Homo-oligomer: A and B are copies of this chain.
Amino acid sequence: MRTTSAGVVRIATKGPGDVSGLMSMIDSGAIDPREILAILGKTEGNGGVNDFTREYAVAALCTALAPRLALTPHEVEQRIAFVMSGGTEGVLSPHITVFTRREVEGRPALLSVKRLSIGIAQTRDFLPEELGRTAQIVETAEAVKAAMKDAGILDPADVHFVQIKCPLLTSDRVEAASARGNKTVTTSAYNSMAYSRGASALGVAVALGEIAPDVRDEHVLRRYDLFSTVASTSAGIELMHNVVIVLGNSASSVSAFEIGHAVMDDAIDATAVSAALQSVGLGIASQAQAGRELVNIFAKAEASPDGTVRSFRHTMLEDTDISSTRHARAAVGGLIAGLAGTSAVYVSGGAEHQGPPGGGPVAAIARLSD
């Protein structure tokens, strides 16, 4: 087994088209563009169907990286896994997190401690009618296993965050399925985002053994007791396949970073956020910890489907002015930013089958200065 070193940098952006921060780090040699494996970003659109800040950010990054990699922009998009999560409601601050990986030679195959490791894989393109259904679950589960292997992670317990980028339905796609005589799981673009996120998350749960593999079409968005504690899925208009990024700790990594996670039971679960920080040796509200520094925190948020938070009614699901995903990101973002002591955190909306109903996974990455 090869030994790798994973790197993570969080870079603030001034707008969805702003690539200056990343380009500076490449110019200064702080980042080698050839080592970039994935870029996760928070962009400032509405996070819904018509959020064009995601594709704009990806286009800007691909155009800027192309000459540095001697590739066309399209080839850059194929090479690097881009996941842009729209929606920086409340205090959330637009930024990107750049993940790099390089192979390290002349080291023992297995180290005494496990450190951050990253793996990537992707599924085939889906048909519109496959979204939100078993095909998407099964293909995603395979891709998660492939990504774990790519990351050198053997034990599912060492997987702390699985980020997936998945497709959504548009009027065109629904019609294409219909023209073939097939019905899509929904005809609403907005609703399709939930189905696609949900099926993708169930795929993660299957891959990691969190649920039995016999999950079926009718469980998606219904059996909310079936979920993954580490899945984070985002739907976007710009692709028709799933991209899977596995983040975990591996004995074959010599990274300076460590990842851990916890599960928020509901949207106000401060205890879980604290536990995620503690899992990588950090305290709350940026309290100084010798030798450790927070790089970023990654979480999923959603409006509890039962309409309540600890028995008090919330109004997120019945608001026609603001979508519930925006409400949930704002609230959970406020809590996490408060406990993490920074507002440039990755909180993504729509946590169907990602953590328990109304809750969601929360992962933290720390840099070790030793």
Using CB atoms and an 8 Å cutoff, list the residues of chain A in contact with chain B.
Answer: 12, 14-17, 44-53, 55-56, 59-60, 63, 88-95, 170-172, 175, 187-191, 267-271, 273, 284-285, 305-307, 309-310, 312-323, 326-328, 330-335, 337-339, 341-344
Contacts and interface: CB of A to CB of B under 8 A. Distances in A.
A91 B331 contact: yes
A45 B335 CA distance: 23
What are the 3 A-B residue pairs with the smallest beta carbon separation, nearest first? A48-B320, A90-B331, A331-B334
B327 A89 contact: yes
Given A90-B331, A315-B94, A342-B312, A321 B56 contact: no
A330 B338 CA distance: 13
A305 B178 CA distance: 14
A66 to B, nearest CB: 11
Given A50-B320, A89-B322, A270-B285, 10 more contacts: A44-B50, A46-B320, A49-B318, A52-B52, A89-B327, A91-B268, A190-B320, A268-B334, A334-B335, A338-B339
Contacts of A326: 322
Contacts of A321: 46, 48, 50, 321
A312 B343 contact: yes
A90 B95 CA distance: 22
Contacts of A270: 284-285, 338-339, 341
A73 to B, nearest CB: 8
Nearest to A358: B91
21 contacts: A48-B319, A49-B320, A50-B318, A56-B59, A90-B331, A91-B267, A91-B268, A91-B309, A91-B331, A95-B312, A171-B317, A187-B305, A189-B318, A268-B334, A268-B338, A269-B338, A270-B284, A270-B338, A270-B339, A330-B334, A331-B333
Contact of A334 (B15, B49, B332): B332
Contacts of A267: 90-91, 334, 337
A314 B17 contact: no
Contacts of A310: 341-343
Contacts of A188: 191, 317
